Structure 1
Amino acid sequence: MHSLRQIDLGRLLFVPLCVGFMILNTKSLLDGGSGRSALQVVSTVAALAFYTVLTVMYLRRGAASRTDRRLGRWIVAGLATFSGFVIPLVGSKDVAEVVVGTGSVLIAVGVLLSIWALLHLRTNISVVPQSRELASSGPYRFFRHPLYVFEYISAIGLTLVSGGGWGWAVVVVLAVLQILRARWEEELLHEQVEGYTAYASRTRGFS
């Protein structure tokens, strides 16, 4: 029973998913007949790099000191993580070239900044609320949830590229989910991570 509890379910479920996204992005880059712009290619390369770094961090991370196991919070975390994938499915398809270009820039910038955040979050990465160590370098010196902010920039870019439509509703819902997620994570970190309260007092967050 003890060994079962030591299984990292997040790693078990999330690493294969990230590897799948890496394969899809690699296939997209190798598809020479796609007619994509240079900005779209950059966005794809950035996404490939993001999932590669994310996979490495998940493979290296150790056990959490505590996990919030409340189902509602897991559902919110999961929806916040994956709701962005709905955006291309609900957008309108008639998109001006300048809008696609702007969206592609936002996607690339958001993903590159997300990689920066991941490199400083390191093995503290988690979808559901968990406590490990304090991350306070890189963008975490300035505010407490940079990864969520940077991912949100990418979501806005994806909405532009996808033609808006109901994608904007997803963006609004995503903002609410990320704020809830961040606040619940902070409750756990204040309790479990040494130095987090002092860190939170000198940085900006969603609360």
Structure 2
Amino acid sequence: MLNEDLFGRIAIVFVMTVLATSGAIPLFLYLHQDTSASSLAVVNQLASTVFLLLQLVMTITRLPPKGTAQGIEPRVTSVAGTFTVLLALSLTSALQSEAVQVTALCLVFIGTASSIFCLYWLGRSFSLMATARRLVTTGPYSIVRHPLYICEAVFVLGMILSHFSVLMVALGALQFLLQYRRARNEEAILRQTFPEYDEYARRVPMLLPRFLRAVVSATSQ
């Protein structure tokens, strides 16, 4: 398990370094444009770079695993759930509407900034794969069990709006399904590793906060 964790750590560090480096190219292009969309794009690119750097730090310093999901499916799901939206961006073009792009960039910024907060709170327990390192139940994890995935979903919604097309919607929907399956895989290994997880799961909802569920229930009556 230690060798597997070391290999995974090296692979993640390599990928995140490449992504952070490639992110500098559009940043320079945005700086030479004079629109509100480009200004937001600079802020988003900076936020994305911070998010990637934080992932690098957490990956390098993360705790040793206490349990890891077995088999190929959890690993494929984790990788595909992480990078499907990047594939979608390379296959579709952005809409030529500044109003749409400003709205999309606002969603991307909200998703990225909140993801940074969740990742910081998750700390050294962060992992791309379904791995149990330490049970985090405070902060945003006291509201829902998978706050990071919700924040990433807001980011993906921004990307779907920015590159809106049938293909983008289809790949975005696939991303959501993969992330849900990824969350289920994580919960399975957390239940196996931490006996107290069942009580935590009974107390804290999976994805939709209780106050939102109450609002939805009230409006549907």
Instruction: Determine if the TM-score, normalized by the shorter chain, exceeds 0.5.
Output: yes
Could you list the per-position Cα deviations for residues 76-118 of structure 1 after superposition, in whole angstroms to 9, with x for gaps in the alignment? Answer: 1111011010222333544321111110000010000000110
Determine if the alignment matches structure 1 residue 76 to structure 2 residue 77. yes
CA distance in 2, matches of 1:86, 1:136: 33
The alpha-carbon deviation at position 206 of structure 1 amounts to 5.0
Counterpart of 1:43? 44
Which SS does the other structure have where 1:163 is aligned?
coil
Q: TM-score, normalised by structure 1?
A: 0.91
For residues 7 and 94 of structure 1, what CA distance do their matches in structure 2 show? 40
Q: What is the correspondence of 1:176-195 to structure 2 with a 5 Å cutoff?
A: 176-195=177-196
- Counterparts of 2:207 and 2:111, CA distance in 1: 18
1:10-61: CA deviation from partner (whole Å, max 9, x where unpaired): 2110011111122122343334435562111111111011001111100111
Give the 3 Å change call, closer, same or farther, for CA 206–139 of structure 1 in structure 2. Answer: closer
- Whether 2:129 is the aligned partner of 1:131: answer no
Q: Which moved more, 1:111-120 or 1:26-35?
A: 26-35
Please give the root-mean-square deviation of Cα atoms over the aligned residues, in Å: 2.0
Amino acid at match of 1:86: L
Match of 2:106 in 1: 105
Q: Secondary structure at the match of 2:164?
A: coil
Unaligned 5+ residue runs, structure 1? none
C-alpha separation between the residues in 2 aligned to 1:12 and 1:46? 23
Cα distance in 2 for residues equivalent to 1:26 and 1:92 = 20
Match of 1:63 in 2: 64
Correspondence for 1:14 among 12, 15, 18: 12
SS where residue 63 of structure 1 aligns?
coil
Per the TM alignment, residue 5 of structure 1 is displaced from its structure 2 partner at its CA by 2.9
User: Which structure 2 residues correspond to residues 89-100 of structure 1 after superposition, within 5 A?
Assistant: 89-100=90-101
Q: Percent identity?
A: 26
Match of 2:142 in 1: 141
- Matched residue, 2:32: 33
Q: Is the 8 A contact 1:22 1:48 kept in 2?
A: yes
Say if 1:95 and 1:162, in contact at 8 Å, map to a contact too: no
1:164-194 Cα offsets, whole Å, 9 max, x none, are: 3311111111111111111111011011024
Higher helix share: 2
Query: TM-score, normalized by length of structure 2?
Result: 0.85
CA distance, structure 2, for counterparts of residue 37 and residue 45 of structure 1:
12
